[in-house]
């Protein structure tokens, strides 16, 4: 009840609250919202209260919560989202233009997975853990490639000296450890990563 009171207070401060009010008249939306606000301090404090515009549409579209998203579907959705802000080369700055967009996608999809679990659409923990792990893998993979591209534009490609002085591109792999590596992620799991690269070398740029 405390969370619901805070939700209504925040809700009425929004300029378009009258448009969103129609969704609260649907019993299935109110039921999903009541279960969310009654079950989790974490999802209210760290997600819905702080990111209403980004996450409330997830609560409104309760029908979409009945189905999971595969790793390939998440990858395609993220690529389509990033395409809007990352079309063509980007000169990196202190805040790369794709970071905010990717974080919003990550939070929205993680909130969606948590909502599916709260509403009983993932009855077994391994189903919930698998969905979280798939999302994490998609996000980590995308962040690696975006950071690599931003750094390559400034410093050039990392290379090693091969046989007969030939320059070889230095490769790197990102390895998931712990619960991430074991596809056993939960609500409060950390992401432990190990970066393995071919060797010390030089870049082709400054």
DSSP tag of 198: S
Per-residue pLDDT of 8-50, as tens digits, reads 777 777 777 777 777 777 788 878 878 777 777 767 666 666 6
Per-residue pLDDT of 40-77, as tens digits, reads 776 766 666 666 676 677 777 888 888 999 999 999 99
CA distance 4 to 9: 9
Contacts for 7 with CB less than 8 Å, ≥ 6 apart: 33, 37, 44, 48, 49
* Number of other residues whose CB lies within 10 A of the CB of residue 95: 8
Is pTM beyond 0.85 here?
no
CA distance 32 to 45: 17
């Amino acid at each position: 009840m405390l969370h619901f009171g805070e939700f209504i207070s925040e809700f009425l401060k929004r300029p378009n609250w009258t448009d969103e009010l129609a969704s609260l008249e649907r019993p299935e939306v109110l039921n999903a919202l009541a279960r969310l606000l009654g079950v989790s301090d974490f999802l209210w404090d760290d997600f819905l209260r702080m990111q209403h515009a980004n996450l409330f549409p997830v609560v409104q579209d309760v029908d979409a919560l009945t189905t999971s998203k595969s790793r390939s579907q998440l990858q395609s959705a993220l690529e389509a989202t990033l395409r809007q802000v990352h079309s063509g080369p980007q000169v990196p700055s202190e805040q790369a233009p794709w970071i905010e967009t990717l974080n919003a996608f990550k939070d929205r999809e993680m909130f969606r997975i948590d909502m599916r679990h709260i509403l009983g659409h993932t009855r077994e923990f391994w189903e919930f853990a698998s969905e979280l792990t798939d999302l994490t893998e998609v996000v980590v993979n995308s962040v690696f490639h975006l950071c690599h591209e931003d750094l390559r534009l400034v410093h050039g490609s990392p290379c090693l000296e091969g046989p007969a002085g030939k320059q070889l591109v230095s490769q790197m792999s990102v390895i998931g450890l712990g619960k991430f590596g074991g596809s056993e992620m939960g609500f409060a799991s950390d992401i432990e990563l190990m970066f393995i690269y071919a060797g010390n070398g030089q870049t082709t740029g400054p």
